[in-house]
Amino acid sequence: MLLDSSVVIPYFKGDPTLRASFLASPTLYLPVTVLGELLCGANLSQNPAKHLAQIQNFLAAVVVLSPVVATAEHYGCIRAQLARAGTPIPENDIWIAALALEHQLPLSARDVHFEWITGLQVLKW
């Protein structure tokens, strides 16, 4: 299961439904792009030390995935598909979707626009 920040952030805020879903998943994967989003949010927060520590603890429970050439190939296909359809989405989310497709992982997300990507399995947590 690949995690988007749209589920990780509510998990950090104590969403009880997400806690159960996270615990029920054998392996949780975190795109390095999402890690960057989380770190940015932590550094912009009122209490960076607290949020950075929360992220560090979370990293012990997930596998971080980074993009490679195959990811870029998926990215190019997704971005072209979205451009042809006239349905652009944030660049980071295209990279996240590309990782999910590359590794054949379902994506846990709350952003509706992920549903516009052909072949991407989206779990609405």
What mean pLDDT is predicted for residues 29-39?
Answer: 98
Rounded Cα distance between 2 and 56, Å, is: 18
In angstroms, the CA 50 to CA 42 distance is 8
Cα 15 to Cα 18: distance, rounded to the nearest angstrom: 6
What is the spatial distance between Cα 89 and Cα 59, in angstroms, rounded to a whole number? 27
Q: What is the pLDDT of residues 41-99, one digit of tens each?
A: 999 999 999 999 999 999 999 999 999 999 999 999 999 999 999 999 999 999 999 99
Residue 125: pLDDT over 90? no
pLDDT of residue 34: 98
What's residue 65's pLDDT?
98
d(CA 65, CA 13): 23
Question: Which is more confidently placed, 57 or 21?
Answer: 57
Domain ranges for the chain: 2-123
Q: What is the pLDDT of residue 69?
A: 98
Distance CA 1, CA 57 (A): 19
CATH H-level superfamily of 2-123: 5'-nuclease (3.40.50.1010)
